[in-house]
Every structure is written in C-alpha cells, then in structure tokens.
C-alpha cells in the first residue's frame, strides 16, 4: 500500500518529544527535522515541506498542551490537522455538464497511465451512474496507442471513436458530433502524453479544449513522481486550467507525497486513484482518509483516548503476550469483539490503527460484526482455538447454528486470517514496542 | 498506421541532447549560481541550501547529505574560500557517487531484458536500442514478452519496423516466458547477435508478477547459458524516491545489470539515478532524451553531473 512508512517515521520523530507540559523549543526543532526528512523521503516537494514544517512549528510552539496528551501526541495532532487541511477534507466528485453531453479530457506526462484510466473511468461511470460513455482516441503519436484504447474499451464494453492519426482536435469534434447523434452522454478524451514544457503539444491541448469545451480537464499523475510533481501540475494548470487530478499506480509502495504537493500547489482536488492494472481498480479519492493514511498512524489520538478509557493494563499485557507468541485464536477474537464494541465500530477501529488501512473499512460493516460473533459463538472451544480443523461438515454445522451460510463462515475465517496477518506485523519489530507504549487492546 | 513522421518535433540528435541536458542544467545551475553569489563564504547555511538544491533534484536525503558532507569536509580540509570552487567539487562527488567514468560496451552476442514499473519507457527504449545496435552492424531480434498490456505487442512491432528488426510475438494473454523461449530459438537459429526482450510493466511490490520475471530469467539462463545476459531497469527520470525501492527489488529478482534513465528531456533532473548507483552499485548505461528513435545516448556521468550543477 502506498503511504506506508511515513507514519512510522513521523511517529519515531515525535516520540523524541518527551515529558509533559509545554512543548520545548529544542525538542520541537529536532522533531521537525525528522518530520522534514520523512516528508522529503515521501517525495513531498521541498518547498511544500518548508511551508508545512513552518506552519506546524508555529502552531506547536504556541499551543497549550491538552491535559490528556503528551507534548509528542500534541504535535502528532497538529501534524495530522495540518495535513488534513492541506489535503482537503472530502471526496471531490466529478461534475456533470448541464448540457446533454459531458466531456472529460485526460491529460498528463508520458507513461502516467491515461489510457488505462480513461477506460476505468468509462467503466465506472457506466456502472455507477448508468451513463453511456464514448471513449475517444486523441493520442496520435505513440505507436499502437489507438489500438490500446480500443482493446481496453472493448474490455469494459464502451465504444471507442478513432480517426487515425489526423489532428486530434478534429477527432475530438467528430466524436462529439457522433455522441450527439447517437445519444452518448459522456465523452472521455484520451490525449497523448506530453511534457509540460512542450509548447507545441501543450497548444494542441488548448485547441482541443477550445473546440469541445470539456466539463473537466483531469490531470493524470503517476503517484511515484518525485520533486517535479509541482512543476508539472503547475504548468498544466496554468496553461489549461485543470479541474482535478487522478493519481495512478497508488497500489505501488510509494509514499505518495505528490498527492500533497499537487494539492498544495494547484489547490485542485485529487478525485480518483488508480489502484491496480485491472479495469475495475479505480477508487474515489478520500483526502481525509488519505491524510491519515499518509501518516500511516491513522487517528491515533482518538484511539489512544478510547483505549485509555476502556482497557486495563493487565488485559493489554496479556494480549500483547499472545501477539508475541502469535497464538491469537478465534477465542481471543471473540474477546476482542467485546472490547471493540465498547470502543466503537470495527471499521472505525481499523481506520485508527496504524497499518489498519491495509483492510478496506468498506469491507467490514456492523451487521457483519454481529454475524461474525454469532459464527464464533457457534463453534466449539476446540474449534475456536484451532480453526484449521474446520472441515466442510463442521462449517455446515456452524453455519446452521449461527443462521449464516458456509460462505459466510469462510468469510469470517478469511477475515480472521487477515487480522492475524496484521497482528503478526504488529507483533514484529517496531510494532510491539509501539503497542506496549500505547497499551492497545489489539 | 504510419507514424514514422509523427514523432513529435523531430530534431537533430545533438540538438535534443543539448536541449534536454541544458534544461536540467538551467534549472539547477541558476539555483547554485544564486547560492554562490549570495554567500560570500561557506557557512552551514550555504551547505544547507546546497542540500536543498540536491534534494529538489530527487537525489534523496541520504545521497544528498553524503555528497554535501563529502564536499564540506574537502572544503574545510583544503581551506577553500571560494564558493565557485564548490561547484567543481560537487560535480566530482556526483561522478564518484555514480561509480566514476566507465566505458560500457555491450557484449556480443548478448540478450537484453527490459524491465521496470509501468509506463517508464521500456518498449520505446527497446526500439531505440534495437535501432542503435542494428546501425552498428548487429543482427537484432525483438521479443514481445509483454503479453499483458493491451496492444503492447503492436507497439513493439511498430518499433521493430522502425528499427528494421524482426519481432517474435504471441497472442495477448499468452505466457511471456514462452515468447522468450521462442525468441531464443529464433535467436540461435539465425545466429543473431542481440536479442532484446520487452517485458510488461509491473510494480515491484507485486510478488506474483515479479515471479514471472524470474521465470523469464530462468528460461534465458537455461536456453542460452553462454550468452551474456543484460537486464536493464528502465527508470523514469521524473520518479521520486520510490525508484530506489524499484531498483532494489528488481535487482534482487531479475539481477539488474544496468539502468536506463528515460525522459531526461523533461524538466526532471533524474537525481534518483545517483542514489541508485551509489546505494546499490547499479551503473546507469543509457539515457532517454525524447520519443524519437535516435533519442538515446550512452550515459556520461560527467555530462550528467554538469547537467545537475
Ligand atoms: N519525453 C520522453 N518520453 C518518453 C521517453 N521514453 C519513452 N517515452 C514515452 O513514455 C511513454 C511510455 O513509454 P513506453 O515505452 O510505452 O513505456 P513502457 O515502460 O513500455 O510502458 P508499459 O509497457 O505500459 O509499462 C510513451 O508515450 C513514450 O513515447 C523519453 O526519453 N522522453
Ligand atoms: Mg511497454
């Protein structure tokens, strides 16, 4: 998952702020150096980093430390808030034209992933919004670019308009006319990759823009981009006036500082993210979630507070012991359910746990939790301790006992495995120490 | 499709290089120039700002700090008082980090596998390399071992036509190792000098896709044990610190022997190549300077260092 690691670094830095009471200036300076380093390593543009660090420092120095927090935690809180402020707070949706046809123009550097994204977007709009999209091949330069769009278009069942290697302005216009005649309501233009300093090709985009006014011009950016993100985004925005950004290859292990930089420089929201090579691998971009994912530590503060309210130390230590031995069983899982119910929802919890972002919160709903609980309760203690013995016949019995299906039993086992995996990571090196410090229930 | 004359803005070879490199140089040189005229003497702030210049070129904090520290030590030791001189020191340090000046000659015969994450320029570089070595009198065969991405084989076929080299391809979705196997058979049958295999872009953190690459490597080692194997990791110069992860994992799995740094005609400085070379010891072999068939240059560390400072 992208963004991993930055959180750990930041936490490491902020741990250095010790003691209670006011945040010391020397401590803060040392920690901010680490923050700066962590952000730079994450490819946040260095000018953006400078601004960010200054803002956080100013606030942290002036801040009264909340009674419940250590100065270190207070700084985490400020970093988190500033990060969220920088990223924006809610998902920016695509807008639709009031005219019958909405045109989106995708543009960006070579190799950013425009063609794949065009098909993903078309598929998404078709499925979620019941739109009738038309894909348009405006990349006349790269060998076989048109063919590529045709192939992915076919894969998602969206027609592709192409007119060879003629001026893409004409192709775009023809496509628009075709859409009018045939009742397509969304037109997606796949343009050629180009450098933002290539005046001739930038002018081509301006001509396309003028000829079929797009509802939105979307800049497609590789999430692995480095310091240049800012120049690229700024230039495209200055010459075209982009409406939003789509980040691709977010399934890489990049820390993705580009997301921050681009938002900071252009003020334009990141609307979608590409998260894999399959044409369904597209996700709405949630900046508020992403901000906490960037930190990789989620909403630690809330978690710390709730944990402190709900758990006694002894229990936490026991659990930690289990983690260390990796003997976390379904019985413990059940125990945890009880505890978690006191703290909030499972999805909430996961979102708050460092590394918990590996599990998509949308995959877990509350009803499911009740179901899971029922399933575990229908198991014998022996089964709970060793789910490996769950053969088909046992699963059928459990399903019946809990009023669920074998499929749902399997699903629970899968979830349990996932959580165990996650725990293993916590149980590993740094994680354990972190857990002890926080006295987390998990 | 006949795109031969559609490559945008065709320019002469040297015009391209000059332009590409000078953009890199301009951006940074002016920063260094400013620094130098601003600082009368070299205090900590001077070096701190120098560090920023390197970091803004994607060298990464660690490599940038290494270089600045080395130069700082040298400056103090030799009691240099002239900020101008620092530039030469910095260039020297960069060349050193890049592994010094090397004369690279591709063995003959050889098999090159192009690897890298999605969209970095593998196919384009495969085409450029084919043309280059063909022009130097080698008998070149291309293998379309990207059987995954839509129209990847068609794309490589266009490049093969441009380079005047035959291409071995299978259907989309077929086993890439099988393509390589067939290409090797043809390579041997024809007594060719050079086989260039284009592989699908893949993220280094996808285990199964990386395994597929390993398999391709195994097929080559098994079928052509006596032929020199080169594995070129194609890195987009606009990539940030992630390229270091890429290089690390691809090296492990696919035994990368060299880097091709593409898109240096952009405004990106490609500083990450310095980090890769210095941290992993993988040399940079070629640079890509545009989308035309001749926009490929052997890597010149001195020129590159001058481009940065
Ligand atoms: N400006 C510039 N563009 C380049 C360079 N090398 C490749 N490109 C462009 O980058 C884009 C991607 O290149 P490809 O060769 O298709 O990249 P790839 O690595 O084979 O891509 P996948 O196979 O999809 O992973 C194309 O539009 C190329 O024309 C370069 O040196 N400079
Ligand atoms: Mg390719």
Indicate the average pLDDT of chain A.
Answer: 81
Could you tell me if the CB of B301 is within 6 A of ligand 1?
A: no
Q: Using 50, 70 and 90 to split pLDDT, how confident is the model at B109?
A: very high
pLDDT (0 to 100) of residue A321 = 66
Q: DSSP for A127-165? A: HHH---EEEEEE--SSTTHHHHHHHHHHHTT--EE-BTB
The tokens describing A355, both together, are 């590394």
Of B14-28, B133-147, B217-231, which gets the smallest average pLDDT? B14-28
Contact flag B1-A143 (C-beta cutoff 8 Å)? yes
Q: What is the 3-state secondary structure (H, E, C) of B121-189?
A: CHHHHHHHHHHHHHHCCCCEEEEEECCCCCCHHHHHHHHHHHHCCCEECCCCCCCHHHHHHHHHHHHHH
Chain B residues whose beta carbon lies within 8 Å of the beta carbon of residue A358: none
* Closest residue to B241, CB basis, from A41, A195, A222: A41
Nearest CA to ligand 1 atom 7: B121
Contact flag B268-A112 (C-beta cutoff 8 Å)? no
Rounded alpha-carbon distances, angstroms, from residue A16 to A12, A299, A437, B107, B293: 7, 19, 13, 53, 53
Q: How far apart are CA A172 and CA A188, in angstroms?
A: 9
Q: How far apart are CA A230 and CA A25, in angstroms?
A: 31
Could you tell me if the CB of A144 is within 6 A of ligand 1?
A: no
Contact flag A228-B268 (C-beta cutoff 8 Å)? yes
How many of the other CB atoms lie within 10 Å of CB of B109? 18
pLDDT (0 to 100) of residue A431 = 38
Please say which residue of B63, B97, B131 terminates a domain.
Answer: B97
Q: Using 50, 70 and 90 to split pLDDT, how confident is the model at A271?
A: very high
pLDDT (0 to 100) of residue B283 = 97
**Average pLDDT for residues A143-148, to the nearest whole number?**
97
Q: How far apart are CA A34 and CA B49, in angstroms?
A: 17
A258 at interface of B, judged by CB pairs closer than 8 A: yes
Q: How far apart are CA B234 and CA B115, in angstroms?
A: 6
Of A264-268, A318-322, B230-234, B290-294, which gets the smallest average pLDDT? A318-322
Which of B304 and A38 is assigned the larger pLDDT? Answer: B304
Pair (B81, B147) in one structural domain: no
- pLDDT greater than 70 at residue A292: no
pLDDT (0 to 100) of residue B286 = 97
Per-residue buried b or exposed e for B236-248, using 16+ beta carbons within 10 Å of the residue's own CB: bbbbbbbbbbbbb
Helix ranges (DSSP H) in A283-379:
287-295, 300-310, 313-325, 330-343, 346-352, 366-377
pLDDT (0 to 100) of residue B13 = 38
Pair (B76, B47) in one structural domain: yes
Pair (B247, B290) in one structural domain: yes
Q: What is the pLDDT of residues A160-169, one digit of tens each?
A: 999 999 999 9
- pLDDT greater than 80 at residue A305: no
Chain A residues whose beta carbon lies within 8 Å of the beta carbon of residue B272: 226
Contact flag B238-A225 (C-beta cutoff 8 Å)? yes
Q: How far is B275 from chain A (nearest CA, A)?
A: 12
Q: Residue B232 CA: which ligand is closest?
A: 1
Contact flag A42-B241 (C-beta cutoff 8 Å)? yes
Q: Are A310 and A343 a contacting pair, CB within 8 Å?
A: yes
A40 at interface of B, judged by CB pairs closer than 8 A: yes
Q: How far apart are CA A303 and CA A76, in angstroms?
A: 13
pLDDT (0 to 100) of residue A386 = 84
pLDDT (0 to 100) of residue B95 = 96
What CATH number does residue B259 fall under? 3.40.50.300
Q: How far apart are CA A284 and CA A174, in angstroms?
A: 30
Helix axes A71-87, A6-15, angle to 10 degrees: 150
Pair (B268, B149) in one structural domain: yes
A166 at interface of B, judged by CB pairs closer than 8 A: no
- pLDDT greater than 90 at residue B16: no
Pair (B270, B125) in one structural domain: yes
Could you tell me if the CB of B29 is within 6 A of ligand 1?
A: no
Pair (B49, B141) in one structural domain: no
Pair (B116, B93) in one structural domain: no
Please say which residue of B75, B97, B119 terminates a domain.
Answer: B97
pLDDT (0 to 100) of residue A74 = 76
Q: Are A218 and A246 a contacting pair, CB within 8 Å?
A: yes
Q: How far apart are CA A415 and CA A412, in angstroms?
A: 5
Pair (B158, B206) in one structural domain: yes
Pair (B134, B72) in one structural domain: no
Range of the domain at B246: 110-308
Compute the distance from residue A142 Cα to the ligand 2 centre, in Å.
11
CA atoms within 13 A on the CB side of A37: 18
% of chain A residues with pLDDT over 70: 71
Which of A307 and A422 is assigned the larger pLDDT? Answer: A422
A262 at interface of B, judged by CB pairs closer than 8 A: no
pLDDT (0 to 100) of residue B241 = 94
pLDDT (0 to 100) of residue A385 = 84
Q: ipTM, 2 decimals?
A: 0.88
pLDDT (0 to 100) of residue A197 = 94
**Average pLDDT for residues A419-436, to the nearest whole number?**
49
pLDDT (0 to 100) of residue A1 = 35
What is the β-pairing status of strands A186-191 and A270-274?
A: unpaired
Pair (B56, B128) in one structural domain: no
> Which of A57-71, A265-279, A327-341 holds the top average pLDDT?
A265-279
**Average pLDDT for residues A68-75, to the nearest whole number?**
71
Q: How far apart are CA A431 and CA A437, in angstroms?
A: 10
Within A56-205, strands assigned E span: 102-107, 133-138, 160-161, 186-191
What CATH number does residue B78 fall under? 1.20.120.140
Going by the DSSP 8-state scheme, the letter that residue B61 receives in this structure is H
Q: Which domains can be identified in chain A, with CATH numbers?
A: 4-86 (1.20.120.140), 102-296 (3.40.50.300), 305-436 (1.10.260.30)
- pLDDT greater than 70 at residue B169: yes
Q: How far apart are CA B63 and CA A78, in angstroms?
A: 30
pLDDT (0 to 100) of residue A32 = 83
Q: What is the pLDDT of residues A100-143, one digit of tens each?
A: 999 999 999 999 999 999 999 999 999 999 999 999 999 999 99
Give the nearest chain A residue to B291 (CA atoms): A142
Which of B53 and A8 is assigned the larger pLDDT? Answer: B53
Q: Residue B149 CA: which ligand is closest?
A: 1
Q: Are B162 and B107 a contacting pair, CB within 8 Å?
A: no
Helix axes B83-97, B61-77, angle to 10 degrees: 130
Of A76-80, A321-325, B193-197, which gets the smallest average pLDDT? A321-325
pLDDT (0 to 100) of residue B66 = 94
Give the nearest chain A residue to B272 (CA atoms): A226
B19 at interface of A, judged by CB pairs closer than 8 A: no
Q: Are A11 and A76 a contacting pair, CB within 8 Å?
A: yes
- pLDDT greater than 90 at residue B24: no
Could you tell me if the CB of B128 is within 6 A of ligand 1?
A: no
Phi and psi of A261, rounded to 5°?
-60, -45
Q: Using 50, 70 and 90 to split pLDDT, how confident is the model at B78?
A: confident
- pLDDT greater than 50 at residue A433: no
Q: Using 50, 70 and 90 to split pLDDT, how confident is the model at A267?
A: very high
Of B23, B114, B121, B162, the one to substitute when testing ligand 1's pocket (max ligand atoms within 8 A of C-beta) is B121
- Tokens 């400056």 sit at which residue? B75
Rounded alpha-carbon distances, angstroms, from residue B209 to A422, B162, B212, B214, B245: 23, 30, 5, 9, 16
- pLDDT greater than 60 at residue A353: no
Q: Using 50, 70 and 90 to split pLDDT, how confident is the model at B69?
A: very high
Pair (B64, B147) in one structural domain: no
Q: Using 50, 70 and 90 to split pLDDT, how confident is the model at A339?
A: low
Chain B residues whose beta carbon lies within 8 Å of the beta carbon of residue A9: none
Q: Give which of A143, A204, A275 to mutate to test B binding, by max B Cβ within 10 Å.
A: A143
B147 at interface of A, judged by CB pairs closer than 8 A: no
pLDDT (0 to 100) of residue B96 = 95
Number of alpha helices (DSSP H) and beta strands (DSSP E) in chain A = 20, 8
Q: How far apart are CA B21 and CA B269, in angstroms?
A: 9
Chain A residues whose beta carbon lies within 8 Å of the beta carbon of residue B6: 140-141, 165
Chain B residues whose beta carbon lies within 8 Å of the beta carbon of residue A148: 149-152, 154-155
Q: CA B236: distance to chain centroid?
A: 7
Pair (B127, B92) in one structural domain: no
Inside any domain, residue B7: no
**Average pLDDT for residues B17-35, to the nearest whole number?**
53
CA atoms within 13 A on the CB side of A344: 15
Which of B211 and B46 is assigned the larger pLDDT? Answer: B211
Closest-lying ligand 1 atom to the alpha carbon of residue B198: 20
pLDDT (0 to 100) of residue B47 = 85
Could you tell me if the CB of A193 is within 6 A of ligand 1?
A: yes
Inside any domain, residue B9: no
pLDDT (0 to 100) of residue B238 = 97
Q: What is the pLDDT of residues B114-168, one digit of tens each?
A: 999 999 999 999 999 999 999 999 999 999 999 999 999 999 999 999 999 999 9
Contact flag A226-B119 (C-beta cutoff 8 Å)? no
Inside any domain, residue B1: no
Q: How far apart are CA A48 and CA B264, in angstroms?
A: 24
Q: How far is A229 from chain B (nearest CA, A)?
A: 8
Q: How far is B271 from chain A (nearest CA, A)?
A: 10
The count of domains in chain B is 2
Indicate the average pLDDT of chain B.
Answer: 88
* Closest residue to B58, CB basis, from A42, A164, A227: A227
Contact flag A37-B148 (C-beta cutoff 8 Å)? no
Q: What is the pLDDT of residues B236-275, one digit of tens each?
A: 999 999 999 999 999 999 999 999 999 999 989 899 999 9
pLDDT (0 to 100) of residue A60 = 85
- Tokens 């560390």 sit at which residue? B301
A41 at interface of B, judged by CB pairs closer than 8 A: yes
Please say which residue of B97, B121, B149 terminates a domain.
Answer: B97
pLDDT (0 to 100) of residue B3 = 38
């Amino acid at each position: 998952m992208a963004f991993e690691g930055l959180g750990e670094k930041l936490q490491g830095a902020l741990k250095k702020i010790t003691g209670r009471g006011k945040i010391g200036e020397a401590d803060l300076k040392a920690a901010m150096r680490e923050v700066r380093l962590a952000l730079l390593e994450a490819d946040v543009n260095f000018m953006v980093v400078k601004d960010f660090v200054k803002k956080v420092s100013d606030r942290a120095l002036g801040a009264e430390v909340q009674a419940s927090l250590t100065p270190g935690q207070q700084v985490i809180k400020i970093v988190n808030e500033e990060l969220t402020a920088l990223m924006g707070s809610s998902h920016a949706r695509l807008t639709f034209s009031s005219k019958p046809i909405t045109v989106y123009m995708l543009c960006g550097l070579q190799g950013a992933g425009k063609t794949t994204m065009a098909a993903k977007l078309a598929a998404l709009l078709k499925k979620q919004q019941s739109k009738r999209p038309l894909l348009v091949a405006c990349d006349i330069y790269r060998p076989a670019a048109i063919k590529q769009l045709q192939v992915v278009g076919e894969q998602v069942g969206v027609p592709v308009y192409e007119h060879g290697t003629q001026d893409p302005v004409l192709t775009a216009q023809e496509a628009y006319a075709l859409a009018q005649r045939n009742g397509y309501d969304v037109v997606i233009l796949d343009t050629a990759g180009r450098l933002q300093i290539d005046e001739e090709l930038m002018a081509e985009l301006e001509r396309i823009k003028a000829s079929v006014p797009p509802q939105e011009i979307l800049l497609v950016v590789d999430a692995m981009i480095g310091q240049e993100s800012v120049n690229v985004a700024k230039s495209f925005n200055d010459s075209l006036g982009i409406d939003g950004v789509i980040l691709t290859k977010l399934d890489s292990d990049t820390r993705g500082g580009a997301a921050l930089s681009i938002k900071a420089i252009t003020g334009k929201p990141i609307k979608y993210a590409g998260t894999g090579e399959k044409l369904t691998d597209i996700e709405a971009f949630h900046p508020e979630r992403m901000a906490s994912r960037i930190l990789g530590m989620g909403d630690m503060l809330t978690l710390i507070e709730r944990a402190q309210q709900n758990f006694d130390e002894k229990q936490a230590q026991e659990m930690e012991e289990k983690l260390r031995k990796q003997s976390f069983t379904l019985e413990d899982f059940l125990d945890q359910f009880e505890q978690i119910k006191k703290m909030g929802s499972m999805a909430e919890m996961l979102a708050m746990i460092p590394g918990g972002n590996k599990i998509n919160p949308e995959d877990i709903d509350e009803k499911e939790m009740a179901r899971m609980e029922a399933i575990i309760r229908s198991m014998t203690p022996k089964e709970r301790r060793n789910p490996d013995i769950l053969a088909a016949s046992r699963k059928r019995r459990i399903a019946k006992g809990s009023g669920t299906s074998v499929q749902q039993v399997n699903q629970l086992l899968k979830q349990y495995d996932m959580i165990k995996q996650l725990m293993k990571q916590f149980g590993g090196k740094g994680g354990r120490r972190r857990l002890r410090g926080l006295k987390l229930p998990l | 499709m006949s795109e031969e004359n559609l490559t945008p803005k065709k320019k002469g070879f040297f015009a391209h290089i000059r332009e590409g490199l000078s953009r890199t140089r301009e951006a940074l040189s002016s920063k260094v120039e400013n620094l130098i005229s601003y600082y009368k003497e070299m205090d900590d702030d001077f070096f701190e700002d120098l560090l920023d210049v390197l970091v803004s070129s994607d060298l990464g904090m660690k490599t940038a700090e290494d270089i600045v520290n080395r130069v700082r030590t040298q400056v103090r030791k030799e009691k240099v008082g002239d900020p101008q001189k620092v530039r030469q020191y910095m260039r020297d340090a960069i060349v050193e980090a890049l592994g010094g000046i090397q004369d690279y000659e591709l063995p003959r015969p050889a098999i090159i596998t192009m690897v890298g994450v999605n969209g970095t320029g593998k196919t384009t570089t495969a085409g450029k390399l084919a043309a280059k070595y063909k022009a130097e009198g080698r008998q070149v065969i291309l293998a379309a071992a990207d059987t995954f991405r839509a129209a990847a084989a068609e794309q490589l076929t266009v490049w093969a036509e441009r380079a005047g080299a035959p291409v071995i391809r299978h259907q989309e979705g077929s086993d890439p190792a099988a393509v390589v196997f067939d290409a090797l058979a043809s390579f041997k049958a024809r007594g060719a000098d050079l086989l260039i295999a284009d592989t699908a872009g893949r993220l280094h953190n996808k285990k199964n896709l990386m395994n597929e690459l390993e398999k391709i490597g195994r097929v080559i080692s098994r079928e052509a044990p006596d032929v020199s194997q080169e594995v070129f990791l194609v890195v987009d110069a606009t990539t940030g610190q992630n390229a270091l992860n890429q290089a690390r994992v691809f090296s492990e799995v696919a035994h990368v022997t060299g880097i091709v740094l593409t898109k240096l005609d952009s405004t990106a400085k490609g500083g990450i190549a310095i980090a890769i070379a210095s941290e992993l010891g993988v040399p940079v072999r070629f640079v890509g300077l545009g989308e035309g068939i001749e926009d490929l240059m052997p890597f010149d560390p001195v020129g590159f260092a001058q481009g940065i400072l």
